Amino acid sequence: MVLQTILSAAIVVTLLTSAIIILKWGGRRVEGPMPLSLLGFMALLFTSGLDVGLVMMPLTEFPVYAREPEYAFANPLAIAFGFWGFLVWGFYFLTTFYFLVVEPRLRLFELPHVKFVNNVVIIGTCAFTAHLLWRNLPFYVPSIGEAQRYAVVALAVLMSVLTSTHIRYVRVLSVGSMWTFGALAAAMWLTSGMGVRGFASSAADLGPYFTALPRFVLPLSDYHAFYLFWWFSWSIMIGQFVSRFVGGMRTWQLAAALLVIPSIPLAAWFSVLYFYFRQQARVPAVLAMAMVVVGVVFVINSLDSLIRLYSDNLGLTARRLGTTAYVAGHWLLVCSLVLAFQFTPLQIEWIGLVVIGLYGVVYVLLIRRWRHLAEAPSIG
């Protein structure tokens, strides 16, 4: 109960802050140091902000949403979309705006204690992403053995570290992930036999999410709270990473892009999966394996961005350490924390709670330095 109270307060404060930013600085042009084209930014935004859970978790969760009474006000598709889409991306807008406009002026994340906590959060969330892959593999590959699960995760982490050694790999993998995901969604749609009419019928069940939108602001259940803590754990590092690649756009356009762009393919994907659930259709083995492959690609794409982020922050780069030491060191670090999620009480809720505490520290520092910020031409 205490954790949910803290979580609820944090959500209200962050959403109100986002609304104030849009109202006060909505027309301000923002641009990162490495701006991408709109297509490149869309690909980066979607594939870096979402991970293996997007591909592999919905089919395992639809039955829960259909069964549990706290979700009875809407259908399972609307509930799943509410856990993943649209409004929750407001967290990412707030942090992206902060790292575009405020942080360059105040440099709060260069303070030693703030920097340390921030990078601990990034590393821990990296490991949780890989842990999700380990946890979901048996649903799609029932015959997979324990050793094989660990091998798949270890290989995914290794590929992530390797691709994080240069920014060009991050960009290529982001675009490639988007097209791979699109191909999987198309194959799932074609194989289902749902056609355009069936897809439209399935997608129509997204409607209750928007009519019941206020219900999704605060935790509906312990499981919803788990998701919200998870999104908090992602929020600061996604803002740090995405802000680098924002092309010249207005603040309100950035907010719209963050809320809408990822939600469109997410809604389409969930609608296809929901058709399988409603029809109680079994996913063909070849497509189940394809979902695993795309899930692994998403893990690699998410982790390489985060590994590059925290390694840059800490100065533990391939240029400084050498490629061999860089790959070995980061691989061992992330894999060790994956095992910690498996064999210790460590939970993503703890990391989300740390991030909420970090938000609190940043708010306090902002209040103390408000005059300096208000005089800064970068936000005035």
Per-residue pLDDT tens over the stretch 183-210: 899 999 999 889 999 999 999 999 999 9
Task: Indicate the helix (H) or strand (E) that contains 349.
Answer: helix 348-368
The more confidently predicted of residues 371 and 349 is: 349
CB atoms closer than 10 angstroms to residue 260: 12
- Average pLDDT on 372-377 reads 57
CB atoms closer than 10 angstroms to residue 221: 16
Whether 263 and 78 have beta carbons less than 8 Å apart is answered as: no
Query: Can you give the pTM of this predicted structure?
Result: 0.88
- Radius of gyration in angstroms for the set of CA atoms belonging to the chain, rounded to a whole number: 20
According to DSSP, residue 193 is labeled T
Of the listed ranges 86-95, 167-176, 180-189, 210-219, the least confidently predicted one is 167-176
pLDDT exceeds cutoff 90 at 359: yes
Q: What is the pLDDT of residues 74-129, one digit of tens each?
A: 999 999 999 998 988 888 999 999 999 999 888 889 898 999 999 999 889 888 98
- Average pLDDT on 299-325 reads 86
What CA–CA distance (Å, rounded) separates 247 from 257? 11
The more confidently predicted of residues 221 and 56 is: 221
Q: If DSSP codes are grouped into helix, strand and coil, which group holds residue 29?
A: strand
What local confidence, expressed as pLDDT, does residue 46 receive?
66
- Residue 29 forms beta bridges with which residues? 250
- Position of tokens 């690699």? 300
Q: Domains of the chain by range and CATH?
A: 2-374 (1.10.4160)
What CA–CA distance (Å, rounded) separates 269 from 264? 9
Mean pLDDT across the chain, nearest whole number?
Answer: 88
| pLDDT band with cut points at 50, 70 and 90 for residue 139 | confident
pLDDT exceeds cutoff 90 at 294: no
